[in-house]
Amino acid sequence: MNIPIELPLDSDGFVRRRCSSCERDFKWHEGPTQGAPADYTYPNVHWCPLCGASEAIDGAWWTAEQKEYIQKLVEAQIPGLVAVEPDGTTNKNANSRFESPSSIGTQPAPLVERDDMQMVAPVCHPWEPVKVPLDSSAPYFCLLCGQTYSL
């Protein structure tokens, strides 16, 4: 099943991600930044800015909220009706009724990305900043090459 998933961006164009290694949230910029060199070839993986673990760019970077949203999207795609059986004790002639539960066929409310976290930029790839939690601290790891940096 191929369901288009649109994740919300904050006002700077960043999408929230979650590292499956350190289980902390951060944000990366969706698509190339304005300052990205036109000839830059992106790696196949991204490095978590918080712990330095690497993972395929299209890999397991989902936040709990995004997973839940995707799950609801999938459920909303399931066509068909669910049979509701009458209890039969008061009306033996009742036929099975078919009802569509409200949870099926209803698109989940779109996610909203709030403007939180602080933006930090690596020395090695300064045009690819990330947003990290306010309570995190250096050293951070470059999203594109994994090199550590301090602020």
Residue 60 in the binding site for Zn ion (CB under 5 A): no
User: Helix and strand tally (H, E) in the chain?
Assistant: 1, 10
DSSP state of 138: S
C-alpha 39/C-alpha 124 separation (Å) is 16
Residue 51 in the binding site for Zn ion (CB under 5 A): yes
Exposure on the CB side of residue 91, measured as CA atoms within 13 A: 7
C-alpha 143/C-alpha 135 separation (Å) is 19
Q: Identify the three-state secondary structure at position 97.
A: strand
CA distances from 103 to 1, 4, 99, 116, 149 (A): 19, 19, 11, 31, 47
Q: How far is the CB of 50 from Zn ion (least distance, A)?
A: 5
* Residue span binding Zn ion (CB under 5 A) among the ranges 5-13, 28-36, 67-75, 143-151: 143-151
Residue 130 in the binding site for Zn ion (CB under 5 A): no
Binding mask 27-46 for Zn ion (x = CB under 5 A): --------------------
Q: How far is the CB of 54 from Zn ion (least distance, A)?
A: 10
Residue 142 in the binding site for Zn ion (CB under 5 A): yes
Q: How far is the CB of 84 from Zn ion (least distance, A)?
A: 46
Residue 144 in the binding site for Zn ion (CB under 5 A): yes
Residue 7 in the binding site for Zn ion (CB under 5 A): no
Residues that bind Zn ion in the complex, under the rule CB under 5 A: 19, 21-22, 48, 50-51, 53, 122, 124-125, 142, 144-145, 147
